[in-house]
Chains A and B, each alone.
Chain A
Amino acid sequence: MRDTRRTRLVLVVLLVVALALIALDYSDGSNSALRSVRNAVGDVFGGAEHGTGTVARFFSGGSSSASQVKSLQEQVVKLRAELAGAQLSKSDLQQLRKLLLLAGAAQYRVLAASVIAVGTGYQQTVTVDVGSSNGVTTDETVLNGEGLVGRVISVTPSTATVLLADSRAEVVGAAVAPSGQLGSVTGPGVTASGSGLMRLQMLSSAAVLKPGQELVTSASEHDRPFVPGVPIGVITKLVSVNGALTEAAEVRPFVDFTALGIVGVVIVPPKHDPRFSALPPLPHPGPTVTVTVTARPRTAAAGSSPNPTPGG
């Protein structure tokens, strides 16, 4: 009785509904009804996701009967929570400072946000805790103190969903640092290691790449979806593909996409193209050279006197 006709009927109905939803969303992504449902559910779950971290901090043990003990325990809990908050904000502060430095160097106006949820399965998306009520709209660039994080693909009043730059579906226009040659960077997708290497494909066959060159985003039309000048990564290896007309390379992203904390949404693009000003200073191989230089005379001195005992 329990799993006979009625159950199957319910099952079929539910499956049909699910398929209908998929078809609806597939054919018309901007369906207003679906979007409003998404917004509503996003509000609820976004609030819950936002609150989870906060609530977790106030987790405490059992209570006692005596009121005095209870109040003291509450104090302890409160102080502990404050301490945890302070410690948390310390690391947040670090990230925030770096973000502001980058934004300041490139003249972006950013809206700081924190990542509150991560997409399931093969969705390389995260949710941040700012939304349309904060002025965020879709196709805005998201970055953190290290570099490019992604772009906003959907917005609810209180949350925004960010498609990460290391997604396989994402193609970012890039400029190679010193020369300004253009190419496109594609994400590695989901990998077992969690952080794969991006793939750079140059547009011009005349472009010449070298390992160690850094990439920034190139200008997009109306600065959407990517504002210019956001650091992407550094070329680690050139890839030669047989028959390819243009050069390709593997790029290690600056951002660790599995450990996102504080990010910034660029709500006002820079007036002028910041070019490469936001890139971290290039590391110079100088120090090792000086060490070897200072080491040589010593070995030379040692070689000049192969028998120290009789000489000394």
Chain B
Amino acid sequence: MLVNRVERGRYLDSVALMRVSRKLEALAGVKSAAVMIGSPSNRELLRGAGLLAREGEAATPNDLIIAILAHDERSGAEAMRQADALLSETQVPAAGESLPRARGLGGGLGLMPQANLALISVPGEFAPHEARRALERGLHVLLFSDNVPLEDEAALKRLASERGLLMMGPDCGTAIIAGTPLAFANVLPRGDVGIVSASGTGLQEVASLVARMGGGISHGIGVGGRDLDARIGALGTLAAIDALAADPATAKIVLISKPPAPEVALRVLERIKGTSKPCVVCFLGMERDQSPMFATTLTEAAERTMGKKLSPLPSPSREMKKIKGARGEGLYCGGTLCAEAELIFRRKGLSGHRFVDLGDDEYTRGRPHPMIEPEIRNDHVARAMANPEVGLVLVDVVLGFGAHENPAGVLLRALKGPKPVVASVTGTEQDPQVWSRQVALLREAGVVVAASNAHAAELAASVIS
């Protein structure tokens, strides 16, 4: 039986709601459940999932919909009670928390008039408005939100450049500015390497590798996944290159992106060549250029920047030697890490293997990103572990602020059986999860942990081929 309840005028952020939804779904007697803000797109999602009843149809974006599909009336009522308890928990601030709080950007600036950056993570349909207001008030912006129309992105980036402000994003998951990690960022030592990246996990991987090779980061500027699209024309990337070129703390510049449109690539490379600082460019997916400036993997980008090599590939385990010719399955939280692994397989001429980015929209509609809630990947991992056709499982583990507090621990719950698993851990020793502890957890469970994502893929590819 389906129950909907609408709470008027109640708003909670979607991550909090998704966690509540997941806990409700885990209750006995509940087939499926979702707690969502009543926006038209959310109602569409609920309808598609068979979770929208008449009460929910009438909800507005100002309302909260609690939707529960239960086996019987009693379980439905019990789940509704649980929902109340879980929702009220989310509104209690953590113990000892004394963050100054306001209701709008203006109120926030009233509490901190000297603020210089707005970190914005609101639903995409409202994000351009909030970002525009922040820019108009002279704030630099990190726009975490995705689902922002391209024309809005271009307009925001033009406005920022008119005002001499930095516009990071939309869809910018991470940045490090002057030593301050923003959103999904790792804790990194300060240093002279400046990074410009259209990829969140790409930035995290390169910055973490640089740190683990003894280097440090001046700034990591995220520009959002579409910045090098022809319709945006790398407005954010060009501004970030200029910023790092002029920054006295930055001695070297690394640029990370998918391969851009040719005319955009030309413009970006011209700008790069115009700086007097050594640069490394990783257009992941583009084949090697003549110039030594280009790196073909994130690992190589970090190595070229540091002028040294990462530790060599680990030797394959005994089980791994038996799987030649078997199918590999890569199950990733980080989109760029997934793409990099797939690319390495392809470059080795391997085909027929499966790579899944569980952070893709297809898997995250109405659910938290697997970096926040790695549990989401466990179903897929468990299935791969049980599937006799799969010979080896390849995974990433991403650490840092914003990420789950113990992603390796969550992953281990799905690793049943003797099948070889190869992993890499993106992060640093200073991260809240502590890189070496996460690595140790995995190794104790028999997982082969490589020094980087590229190394993990190369190791897997070498035993399969």
Are these two chains actual partners, yes or no?
no
